[in-house]
Structure 1
Amino acid sequence: MAREKRREELHVTVPNLFRCPISMDVMKSPVSLCTGVTYDRSSIEKWLALGHKTCPATMQTLPSTLTTPNLTLRRLIHLWLSHTDPAQAPPPPCAVSRHEAAVIIKGEVDASSLQKLVDFMKASQGNLKFVAHSSSAIPRFVELFSESDEIRIRELIVEVFDLISSENAVRGRLNELILSSADCLSSFATVLRKGNTESKVKSAKILELIALNPESEKKIADKADLLLNLYNLTTSESDSSAVEAGLSALAAVATTRRARKDLIRLGIIRSVSRILSDGSAISKPDLVEKALALLESVATCREGRSAIAEDGECVAEIVRRLMKCSGTATEHGIAVVWSVCCLARDELAQERVAGENGVTKVLLVMQSECMGSTRQMCRELVKVLRAKSSNNNSNLAPYYETRTTHIAPY
């Protein structure tokens, strides 16, 4: 009776920080959403599984449904429970010892043992180094990733690869083994097609990471299913982090004319135009930056310049974004506009840029702290666009001399 009373007292005095906002119970596996609010994993996964796209506590629309383990809060809850009622204390974060981790690396594995290994690696930097620097870990997991038919096992191995890739000393070895196995690249395509959002994002980041030189870029781009599934990632409307990861990976691997032509055929110009025209894009500068970087890459081939110029709305959106996002995004945007207006000399594109008050915006870019090459492109754009600007409402163009970088304020 006394013990039951003590339990009730403990229940009343649970710190609010330790309660899940959904279940109101003490969290066993706290994870945080991108809004910064932490929930118990089981509760938030049920909420998201029901199709909700909002944070339950704040009702904010979620740009990403990825969750991040809150290990600090988990340790605090464990410490608090161990001092109040040991019977309620959850098991320690590490479910396996180093010896058991070594056994998992070398032996037969299933999803359960792989999950334990992932938790072991996340628990501390020392544990991560123990696995990453194990002589048999990387070859073993590359082989298993290539051979396994279970999507959950592949998802967990992608997580292992993602953790290992943070170790500079072994990253080269990981990249080499992944690229030397055609089956391994095919497995990435499978994860991008069938895996959960988190594993798709991590797969895209790993592919970007291993695209270190023309040879590796070509190997990845030559896998048609990889290029297709990375493109499909950019069309995701529910998760901006997935779109950003897809765009960034494509910009890294689409370095051959064939790859760029494939992306144009798939509809990448239309997809990027949609991203740029999204009203919420202004609050996602990294997303806009990645989208414009990919367009700059596509614009280096004749087919790319033609496709961009033909999509008048895409050209207009690029001009509208100048000086409204990061400096890097603006420089990518200027490179694309210069490619279609100066390099391709497309008159329709020139008229569209001029119609969006392009001369004024290009002059403003020149006055910013941009790179010398960007400033030179701006000078050439002003010369080309001047003839198209007669219907432009710009108040700055008449005062500008292309030999200087000064814009008269009145």
Structure 2
Amino acid sequence: MMISTWRRRRAARLAGKQRPESEMGDIEVTIPNHFRCPISLELMKDPVTMSSGMTYDRESIEKWIEAGNVTCPVTNKVLRSLDPIPNHTVRRMIQDWCVLNSSYGIERIPTPRIPVSSEEALEIHFKIKTACKKGDRIGCQNLAAKIKELAKESERNKSCLVATGTAGVLSYAFEEFSKASLEENFAVLDEILSGLAVLLLHDKATNCPVSDASIDAIVLFLKSEDLSARRNAILVLKELVPLDYRKVEMLSETEGAMEALFKLIKAPICLTATKASLTVIYHMVASPSPANAKIIAKFVDLGLVSLLLEMLVDAERSLCEKALGILDGICDTDQGREEAYNHALTIPVLIRKIHRVSDLAMKFSVSILFKLCMDERRENGGVFSRGYSEECF
């Protein structure tokens, strides 16, 4: 039998007691083989039985199946079903054994929650769509809260919800409730947005319906005083904007949107929200939209160039790359180049970042310097007027 050594010292520590070293010795506790997962050889925390009749720890057998295996690891028989069935009998036996040996520092395994199934996820989808058709705000809000709770409960739940298209259903619900009064539907929209922020990070393929009404609603939360609501709004925008440049136009035309994005950088609420805001702004200034020059002009007027340069002085790699990418896009316009050229930090910061951050940061830095220097050369008949400009190349 396999033996695990548990020290009495650990039991004393867990009990908040300290005993003299001389009174403590090694206590050997035998973990029964049928309590061990045949794959990991560890004590099973969530025993499940497969169609072959063998019992494994859920995490171990799911990793085995996710790796593309369709056979039982022990019997090598083809599994008729890949759905694990909870083995409550073995789980209770393990829990009883843990309690019996608790004095040796063995903790009782918690009763695991049964993961959400595809059928349960689809049933929730149906209820959400029904609630939308009836205009049932409370019902939809509760269902959205349930989805968020399930997604946060385990990675397996999150994967199941993503695979069944839950993000698309939440997007549909957000779209429907955005069409009515935003004030009346604020609570339900807030809950849906919170769920979307969790799922969209893992569901890149979702084609979220985004109308003017939806953008208005998202910007409403982006301008909110509630930090959590602002964070959820920018995380959702970060996933939506790169998918369709038409959404960039809608966002730029929504009153207060660009100011709210700028505020998230000027007065950051968390690093994740700052990075998300930089990502959205990058896609806005780099978009092929006819409104591109207008978008850049607005951000320049807000003071974005100066803010980015100050950030670049001591920002970490990811922030540097995003900030430099935005500056590169801004320098595609005359107004943007002039603003960057006239700022005292521009050249020193760019030269410093060329070899000290990453290849991407170097490319952006060189691109910005090239645009600034060529613009200066044109203005001075082909002659650089600043000493550092000539040193850049």
Q: Same fold (TM over 0.5)?
A: yes
Per-residue deviation, 1:213: 4.7
TM-score normalised over the length of structure 2: 0.59
Structure-2 residue corresponding to 1:310 = 342
Instruction: Check the 8 A contact 1:273/1:313 in 2, yes or no.
Output: yes
What SS does structure 2 have at the residue aligned with 1:194? coil
Q: 1:178-257 alignment to 2 at 5 Å?
A: 178=210, 181-194=211-224, 196-197=226-227, 199-211=229-241, 212-237=243-268, 239-254=270-285, 255=287, 256-257=292-293
CA spacing shift, 1:92–1:82, aligned 2, 3 Å? farther
TM-score normalised over the length of structure 1: 0.57
Task: Give the letter aligned to residue 301 of structure 2.
Answer: R
Which of these residues, 294, 304, 315, is aligned with residue 326 of structure 2? 294
**Alignment length (residue pairs):** 275
Per-residue deviation, 1:271: 0.8
Which of these residues, 301, 313, 330, is aligned with residue 265 of structure 1? 301
Instruction: Check the 8 A contact 2:174/2:214 in 1, yes or no.
Output: no
Per-residue deviation, 1:237: 4.3
CA deviations 1:32-71 (Å, max 9, x no partner) are xxxxxxxxxxxxxxxxxxxxxxxxxxxxxxxxxxxxxxxx
Instruction: Check the 8 A contact 1:201/1:246 in 2, yes or no.
Output: no
Task: Give the letter aligned to residue 190 of structure 1.
Answer: L
Which of these residues, 117, 128, 137, is aligned with residue 162 of structure 2? 128
Distance (whole Å) between structure 2 residues aligned to residue 133 and residue 153 of structure 1: 15
Instruction: Check the 8 A contact 1:272/1:291 in 2, yes or no.
Output: yes
CA spacing shift, 1:306–1:133, aligned 2, 3 Å? closer
CA spacing shift, 1:209–1:153, aligned 2, 3 Å? same
Structure-1 residue corresponding to 2:177 = 144
CA deviations 1:124-166 (Å, max 9, x no partner) are 22233335387x6542232224544355533432233341574
Per-residue deviation, 1:296: 0.6
Per-residue deviation, 1:227: 1.3
Q: 1:10-409 alignment to 2 at 5 Å?
A: 12=14, 92=113, 97-98=120-121, 99-100=123-124, 102-107=126-131, 108-110=136-138, 111-122=141-152, 123=154, 124=157, 125-132=159-166, 137-147=170-180, 148-149=182-183, 151-162=186-197, 163-164=199-200, 166-169=202-205, 171-172=206-207, 174=208, 177-178=209-210, 181-194=211-224, 196-197=226-227, 199-211=229-241, 212-237=243-268, 239-254=270-285, 255=287, 256-277=292-313, 279=314, 281=315, 284-345=316-377, 351=386, 353=388, 359=391, 362=392, 382=393
CA deviations 1:81-133 (Å, max 9, x no partner) are 96667x99688376995445642453234444422121224442223333538
CA deviations 1:168-201 (Å, max 9, x no partner) are 55x22x1xx21xx212111111121216545534
Instruction: Check the 8 A contact 2:145/2:195 in 1, yes or no.
Output: no
Distance (whole Å) between structure 1 residues aligned to residue 384 and residue 263 of structure 2: 28
Choose 196-205 or 238-247, whichever is displaced more. 196-205
CA spacing shift, 1:322–1:198, aligned 2, 3 Å? farther
Task: Give the letter aligned to residue 145 of structure 2.
Answer: Q
What SS does structure 2 have at the residue aligned with 1:167? coil
Instruction: Check the 8 A contact 1:105/1:137 in 2, yes or no.
Output: no
CA spacing shift, 1:202–1:351, aligned 2, 3 Å? farther
What SS does structure 2 have at the residue aligned with 1:232? helix
Gaps spanning 5+ residues in structure 1: where? 1-8, 15-78, 363-381, 383-410
Task: Give the letter aligned to residue 357 of structure 2.
Answer: C
What SS does structure 1 have at the residue aligned with 2:249? helix
Structure-2 residue corresponding to 1:378 = none
Task: Give the letter aligned to residue 334 of structure 2.
Answer: R
Instruction: Check the 8 A contact 2:237/2:280 in 1, yes or no.
Output: yes
Gaps spanning 5+ residues in structure 2: where? 1-10, 17-90, 100-107
CA deviations 1:191-232 (Å, max 9, x no partner) are 212165455344334334333454332222222411111111
CA spacing shift, 1:268–1:352, aligned 2, 3 Å? farther
Task: Give the letter aligned to residue 230 of structure 1.
Answer: L
What SS does structure 1 have at the residue aligned with 2:260? helix
Structure-2 residue corresponding to 1:4 = none
Computing the radius of gyration from Cα coordinates, the structure with the larger value is 2
Give % identity: 13
Larger helix fraction of residues: 1
Distance (whole Å) between structure 1 residues aligned to residue 143 and residue 319 of structure 2: 36
RMSD: 3.8
